[in-house]
Structure 1
């Protein structure tokens, strides 16, 4: 059995009756705990027009988290590149890498991180075309490398500052479509099983088979993200599953209105369609005791042939969230 590294995806969840400031301060506390426990990297996401999360700008949250830590890699999971100027993303992350050398990950996604209206407001020229995304990736990589590509804007415009090494470049995918870009550009691949529980291992295999080494990455590199909750208390596990099953339906329906209380959720009845969706969504998370989650994570790692699993944990109790990450660390990091 390979040594499995654990990382964290933090979606800056705003808890019931909580505030965005509270969520962001909790991220600051959690990243320090993650470093203490030996987690490999800590990524923050980009969401728009979504009241349940505080993370709209990874490029702003990353330096806050990096300044609170010393060794753990901090990055975006991810920057939704079609929402932005490739030049500005390169400037932002070149600056971050200069401030925090060898600690910055630039994880890039192609989804809007919300709805198409918000995405249009962020970048009115956004077409969501594969051709445009390919060009943006070409530009980001060239700007960060300080390349002069003939007959292109890169002959005249450079991104400064130029870090000694460029940030670690990752492509995020849930549908699998972006795996071809990661392979072509020689970037690492992160598969979001917490979004899509189907076909992830096949996507990872396609990426490896088609990978072209780059100046920064000689061998293919994969991690996989999953929602997870770990506890030694069976009742807490059962309650978390009950609430999380509903939470996913609530988000998929647009998160309209306030999130019901746990007591309301516990007594809800579901339609056949909702029950089918709940069953499907169970592939997006794992929940259980430390021993059960150890086996589940090892199974995921084997299926993807990876040694890194990225955990996203959402709870209404911050202490439960921290404890979950501590219990997982004991199973993998502190025992290795």
Structure 2
């Protein structure tokens, strides 16, 4: 099955996308951060990025956006050619019918440009899950059913929902072009779900401690052609920090790494803090050890080394499709990072 995958980075130009979590910077108003997300999307379009996808978080002070589909709609209206979407809409919080209707509407208004990224993470801590689900903790047991339903609604096929909802359709019908649908995850079950439902798979490399391709190989080998896509498409999600010299790139990564550390500890990530403050907070030996483990998940590079590192990762996973997360404290550095990154592979 490998030869069917979007995998030949030697023969194809690298496809680079941006994962934007709308990270809040300590001292900055969230409204300013959301404006930065719009500006980043316009910058990404200028740089010829493939797409920009927005994440969903609830009750988390460190991230400004809770509705990626709304932010995507705004950005689609303010750009011309770049693909824009969600990374992702968290299915445990919503009905398949609502998600599909929203996706069809955006795909109809912006044909060929809306990307529907879906995931099963809660997008927040327990209280936000309760608030989103009318005081009932959601389960992941219906995720596969929801995925099947979404594919059916997008394809105007009621066979998967006939027994429950009869001939109910999700409008607008008869899309000229279905949206891309990506399933987000890093585990074996996520790989199997994407493969079983014939969806593209975005693998969250930045969430794992070691580079391994067991789960991505499961996806490729078990992929079943579906109504959305006939061949497997694999994307690798990376966290990256680039600067003029390695020491500065490493230091810039501290703020992002500290948010990752908070998440690993089961805390809601707080706004990005200056690297100096990060150093103060991780002064204890046990904190330093844990922090260094998280830091290893971030690609640290200079403009003249980042291209090679990205190429090595693409070759390892046998794909030419990468999506980049860059949550550094300094906005100018963040925007410059994406320029350095895309210039390195052109």
TM-score scaled to structure 2, two decimals? Answer: 0.89
| Preserved CA contact (<8 Å) 2:253 2:298 | no
Match in the other structure for 1:307: 320
Q: Distance in 2 between matches of 1:152 and 1:329?
A: 48
Match in the other structure for 2:121: 111
Distance change in 2, residues 1:256/1:123 (3 Å): closer
Q: Distance in 2 between matches of 1:294 and 1:71?
A: 25
Match in the other structure for 2:4: none
Give 1:210 deviation, angstroms: 0.3
Q: Distance in 2 between matches of 1:257 and 1:57?
A: 19
SS at match of 1:206: helix
| Preserved CA contact (<8 Å) 2:255 2:278 | yes
Give 1:257 deviation, angstroms: 7.1
Match in the other structure for 1:92: 102
Q: Among 117, 120, 139, which residue is 1:128 paired with?
A: 139
Give 1:154 deviation, angstroms: 4.7
Q: Distance in 2 between matches of 1:259 and 1:208?
A: 36
| Preserved CA contact (<8 Å) 1:191 1:200 | no
| Preserved CA contact (<8 Å) 1:14 1:54 | yes
Match in the other structure for 1:221: 233
The answer to whether residue 29 in structure 2 is matched with residue 29 in structure 1 is: no
Long gaps (5+) in structure 2:
1-9
Give 1:214 deviation, angstroms: 1.3
Q: Distance in 2 between matches of 1:187 and 1:313?
A: 26
Give 1:5 deviation, angstroms: 1.4
Give 1:250 deviation, angstroms: 3.6
| Preserved CA contact (<8 Å) 1:243 1:266 | no
| Preserved CA contact (<8 Å) 2:183 2:194 | yes
TM-score scaled to structure 1, two decimals? Answer: 0.92
What is the aligned-residue RMSD (CA, Å)?
2.1
| Preserved CA contact (<8 Å) 1:183 1:210 | yes
Q: Distance in 1 between matches of 2:226 and 2:301?
A: 40
The answer to whether residue 174 in structure 2 is matched with residue 175 in structure 1 is: no
Deviates more, 1:20-29 or 1:272-281: 272-281
Q: Among 244, 248, 268, which residue is 1:236 paired with?
A: 248
Give 1:120 deviation, angstroms: 2.6
CA displacement, residues 172-224 of structure 1 (integer Å, 9 cap, x when unaligned): 00223211111011100001112223465211101000000113312110001
Give 1:59 deviation, angstroms: 1.4
| Preserved CA contact (<8 Å) 2:23 2:271 | no
CA displacement, residues 38-94 of structure 1 (integer Å, 9 cap, x when unaligned): 111110000011011111001111111111111111111000011001111011111
Deviates more, 1:271-280 or 1:33-42: 271-280
Match in the other structure for 1:152: 163
Q: Among 43, 52, 55, which residue is 1:45 paired with?
A: 55
Distance change in 2, residues 1:121/1:326 (3 Å): same
Distance change in 2, residues 1:240/1:11 (3 Å): same
| Count of aligned residue pairs for this structure pair | 332
SS at match of 2:207: coil
Distance change in 2, residues 1:123/1:200 (3 Å): farther
Q: Distance in 1 between matches of 2:270 and 2:324?
A: 28
Q: Distance in 2 between matches of 1:127 and 1:257?
A: 24
Give 1:329 deviation, angstroms: 1.3
